[in-house]
Structure 1
Amino acid sequence: MKTRIKKSIVMLSAAVMSLTACETAEFGSLNENPNEPTSASPSILLSNVEGAVSNYVAATTPNLYVQYLSNGQYDEESRYQTLNWSYEYWYGVLTDLNRIIALNTNEETKEEVSASDASNANQIAVATILRVYIFQGMTNRWGRLPYTEALGGLGNQFPVYDSQEEIYKGLFAELDSALGMIEAGSGPNGDYLFGGDMTRWEQFGQTLKMVMGLRLSEADPTLGKTKFNEALGNVITSNTENFFYPYLGDENNDNPWEDRFYAPSFRRDYLVSDVFVNALIGSGNSTTPEDPRLAKMAEPALNSGTFVGAPYGKSNSDTDSYSFITQDIINNMQAPLYMFTYAEVLFARAEAAALGWTSEDASSLYEDAIAASMAQWRVSDSAANAYIASNPYTGLESIGYEKWVALYLQGYDSWAEWRRMLAAGYEKELTAPEDLLSNATDIPDRDGYPATAQSVNEQNYNDAIEAQGPDLLNTKLWIFK
């Protein structure tokens, strides 16, 4: 066991340390060599990184892309105003993770950092799993990115943009290595996501692996099927095991949706969209929707007492005429925002069964997934059963629609799944607004590179867009073609 762990540490350390060079859009942390151990505390670095996860799970824009929400008076975000999105922040987060790994592998520091903390193996495993989680989210947004030559300091200031295929294969290798080195005992200090519980970290890593495997259903189904089945049986098995960001009743680390509506922002700008509301009203009406989750996900409009969605892509200044996100979220500083849920896992298993990846039953998993989503939103069993009976499994289109509903407010995750199912042809059909910004021609397929990317790394930037396509919102990525 110890020999396997030591071998895994060496292999992973070599892999991470080979990912050298930096993004030079802005200097600062990106030009600090993460492989040069410092006196930094791994626990503080880990807490900082986990804090950054909130910025991923609570982002507003992807929830507008998939049309869960509409804007209030200021409609530019739902008309895709922003073309260029900086990734420098996320490379800074990755630099902190690489520092944790370096401190736990360098012979001069590894004993010291493990003396009053978790084992070197468990610290490296947690840092690597988080690194994979963040990097897969980045490539799902931008596509080609510096990966194999990223984050090494000034040794290579002009990193190559690797293909998504290379990135995904590299991330799977990192994830497998990290999962293989987890050992008995506590996890690292500073871990407030899962409280140092390595069983939870292994489960999170396996769930991440399953989700990433399914993401390859169009781009590389052979690899996707293999990785999916490697994770199957090791993922979350109930709503009690859902992964979420644990916000506090404290302004320094509370639910960002509460901040947007109250202090410090005091803006009533995010309404539930007419697309989402009308879909869930279905064969019911604005007082009694067909889908009982709507009453748990949204509030009736103040002016009418009924569920009314705000027109998507429009200026909706009369906000009291429309439904807001449920008060259970916007009035609750500690409302959880989900990373992965049991419903999502069950829908993934249902889809994999329908694709022939497993021998499981797609229809029963589809029903179980809806039931899990209903329970997650505290819908009664009787109401859930009635809805399931009225909406039986009819094929992959059923999964496409119900998964879209179940991923409500899981912005980047939902946007990635919607684009993947769009490529497969069984997505929930969405229509872009007529008056679009940033030269968009449809619902965004990616985020544009930082505005400075070309000027600071011209040749590699040009090579990336030559291979991937124009640096625009509607260039389709390899993984979603």
Structure 2
Amino acid sequence: MKKKFLYITAFVSLLAASCSKELDEVNINPNATENAQPDYLLTAAIKNTADAYWGTTNNMNSSLLFVQHWAKVQYTEEDRFIYSNSSFTSLWSTLYSQSITGFNKIIEIGNTTAHPNYRGVALTLRSWSFLLLTDAYGDIPYSQAGKLNEFITPAYDKQKDVYFGLLEDLKTAKNTLDPAGKAIAGDIIYSGNITKWKKFANALRLRIALRIADKEPAKAKQVLDEIKADGDLYISDNADIAQLIYQISPQQNPVSAQFDTRDDYRISKTIVDKLFVLNDPRLPIYASKTQTATPQEYIGLPNGLTNSEASNLGFARTSKPGAYFLTPQSPAVIFSYAELLFDRAEAAARGLTTENAAELYKQGVTASLKQFGLSDAAATTYLAQASVQYDAANYKKSIGEQKWLALFGQGLEAWAERRRLDYPQLSASVNTVLNGQIPVRFIYPGTEQSLNGQSYKNAMASQGADLLTTKLWFDVN
């Protein structure tokens, strides 16, 4: 009897192993690779992040309106700051579930395959993704984010801690990247040029150093001193711009795709008026001529109109954004050479470096004009105007206004800089719903309250109410 039992036990064990093997085979997704390829992951993660950054929800329907680059000509609720807690889900969900998850996987592959350049590139891009999130929302999951096996409900880190953590991540990324190391594939920003990735990582370090400069000037200076001591390079000309150049449909620029099927936006009157006052040669690049001929040729739409007010001004008598931004291949700019020069100018003006702020400011203006195909001669003429010349007594105004112009179309970045520098000084329409205020943050997705409730409540206790008007840690004025 005992022998028979042993036979039965062995048979059951063999049957269980066979069933387990069959179940494992049945549950394999035929459309997924068992061994993730870092090049494919990198391409997909870059594209997903750029689309979220440059697309409708986080750019056209929010931050571009907040900085008055664009205005809405129909369905104007967003231009009057009428939002719900589902309005800003896209940036959060895309960057956490797709971008950061993808970059974490690439970092893991880079570690396990002894391929440091994949790790360095992914760490740089993951840092940019976290930076977009904290600039928009404030306190966010950072140290516990993307670790689903350990943290189902990740804690929110304070914004200061996120910035400090990202500075360390970017320093690690810069030191990891090796131009003489193994080549990478799937890089649709720099085509595998690791030297340019090192420059971009340092540029992000400079950007964050200025984010914290009003609150933590000593830390900001320490970062810039480290970069200088290491002899590292920044983005050094327009050929180094960090950008995703789109292709034709269906891989076209999100702005182009939006205007293919809808006609909701116009260039803002605020920026058109400023370009006119400055005799700025970027006007015909940033704006299209009105469809119906007008004496001014370029007419911006006031922000914050009611639907009826916008309709009365008309589609044909107001200017769309310029053709440069509406073409399918128009790039999603992540970090421009002009921004880098303005950042260096500000660092010098703050006494964080010994560079010449006025000279760097002029170089920044010139780089912006040349980025859009204008000549050195046009830049010289433009800079000769008293209204454009650098004012050392109010560097925030000079740099803030010119950076605002240079960042046209980069809604999230222009919004972060405008909150930090407080220039240009913008006014909200009387039709807006925030008592004359312009939004200074995104509100958290409503799903955070239901799925990560305690962490959400802790963030409110630390940061303040989950409102569009609650200032973030870096926004001191």
The sequence identity of aligned pairs, in percent, is 34
**1:440, 1:52 → 2: CA distance?**
35
**2:134, 2:153 → 1: CA distance?**
18
Contact 1:273 1:311 (8 Å CA) reproduced = yes
Letter of the aligned partner of 2:100 in structure 1? L
1:95 aligns with 2:93: no
1:156 aligns with 2:151: yes
**2:225, 2:79 → 1: CA distance?**
37
Aligned residue runs from structure 1 range 392-431, under 5 A: 392-395=389-392, 396=395, 397-422=397-422, 427-431=423-427
Contact 1:296 1:378 (8 Å CA) reproduced = no
Q: Aligned to 2:384, what secondary structure does the other structure show?
A: helix
Equivalent residue number for residue 244 of structure 1: 243
**2:472, 2:399 → 1: CA distance?**
23
1:154 Cα deviation after fit? 4.3
**1:398, 1:83 → 2: CA distance?**
35
Instruction: For residues 156-199 of structure 1, give each alpha carbon's deviation from its aligned partner in whole angstroms, at most 9, with x where no partner exists.
Output: 22221110111111111111111111221344222222111111
Contact 2:430 2:436 (8 Å CA) reproduced = no
Compare the two structures and name the one with the higher helix fraction: 2
Letter of the aligned partner of 2:398 in structure 1? S
Query: How does the TM-score come out when normalised to structure 1?
Result: 0.83
* Pair 1:274–1:133, CA change in 2 (3 A): same
Equivalent residue number for residue 349 of structure 2: 354
* Pair 1:240–1:100, CA change in 2 (3 A): closer
Q: Aligned to 1:146, what secondary structure does the other structure show?
A: coil
**2:131, 2:143 → 1: CA distance?**
14
Letter of the aligned partner of 2:101 in structure 1? T
1:297 aligns with 2:286: yes
1:38 Cα deviation after fit? 6.1
Contact 1:239 1:341 (8 Å CA) reproduced = yes
1:380 Cα deviation after fit? 3.2
1:371 aligns with 2:366: yes
* Pair 1:229–1:319, CA change in 2 (3 A): farther
Letter of the aligned partner of 1:40 in structure 2? A
**1:241, 1:74 → 2: CA distance?**
38
More off after superposition, 182-191 vs 48-57: 182-191
1:403 Cα deviation after fit? 1.1
Aligned residue runs from structure 1 range 44-55, under 5 A: 44-54=40-50, 55=52
**1:412, 1:230 → 2: CA distance?**
28
Residue of structure 1 aligned with 2:431, choices 430, 435, 443: 435
Equivalent residue number for residue 177 of structure 1: 172
Aligned residue runs from structure 1 range 44-443, under 5 A: 44-54=40-50, 55-58=52-55, 59-60=59-60, 61-84=62-85, 85-86=88-89, 87-92=92-97, 93-105=99-111, 110-111=112-113, 120-183=115-178, 184-231=180-227, 234-249=233-248, 251-262=249-260, 266-282=261-277, 290-305=279-294, 306-314=297-305, 315=307, 316-317=310-311, 318-330=314-326, 332-390=327-385, 391-395=388-392, 396=395, 397-422=397-422, 427-437=423-433, 442-443=437-438
Instruction: For residues 118-171 of structure 1, give each alpha carbon's deviation from its aligned partner in whole angstroms, at most 9, with x where no partner exists.
Output: x52111111111110100110001111111122211432222111011111111
* Pair 1:353–1:104, CA change in 2 (3 A): closer
When Rg is computed on C-alpha atoms for both structures, the one with the higher figure is 2
Contact 2:196 2:235 (8 Å CA) reproduced = no
Contact 2:54 2:255 (8 Å CA) reproduced = no
Letter of the aligned partner of 2:103 in structure 1? L
Letter of the aligned partner of 1:57 in structure 2? W
* Pair 1:40–1:380, CA change in 2 (3 A): closer
**1:339, 1:401 → 2: CA distance?**
19
Question: RMSD of the TM alignment (CA)?
Answer: 1.8
Contact 1:218 1:479 (8 Å CA) reproduced = yes
**1:341, 1:459 → 2: CA distance?**
39
Contact 1:83 1:447 (8 Å CA) reproduced = no
1:207 Cα deviation after fit? 1.1
Equivalent residue number for residue 472 of structure 1: 467
| TM superposition outliers: structure 1 runs of 4+ over 4 Å | none
Residue of structure 1 aligned with 2:439, choices 438, 444, 461: 444
1:462 aligns with 2:468: no
Q: Aligned to 1:339, what secondary structure does the other structure show?
A: strand
**1:38, 1:130 → 2: CA distance?**
24
Instruction: For residues 310-350 of structure 1, give each alpha carbon's deviation from its aligned partner in whole angstroms, at most 9, with x where no partner exists.
Output: 111114231111111111221x2111221111111111111
Instruction: For residues 53-92 of structure 1, give each alpha carbon's deviation from its aligned partner in whole angstroms, at most 9, with x where no partner exists.
Output: 2221343121111000011122112122224322122111
**2:436, 2:457 → 1: CA distance?**
22
Q: How many residues align?
A: 418
Letter of the aligned partner of 1:313 in structure 2? G
Q: Aligned to 1:401, what secondary structure does the other structure show?
A: helix
1:309 Cα deviation after fit? 0.8
More off after superposition, 123-132 vs 252-261: 252-261
* Pair 1:351–1:147, CA change in 2 (3 A): same
**1:256, 1:150 → 2: CA distance?**
28
Instruction: For residues 209-236 of structure 1, give each alpha carbon's deviation from its aligned partner in whole angstroms, at most 9, with x where no partner exists.
Output: 1111111121212112222343455111
Contact 1:441 1:474 (8 Å CA) reproduced = no
* Pair 1:156–1:440, CA change in 2 (3 A): farther
Equivalent residue number for residue 29 of structure 2: none
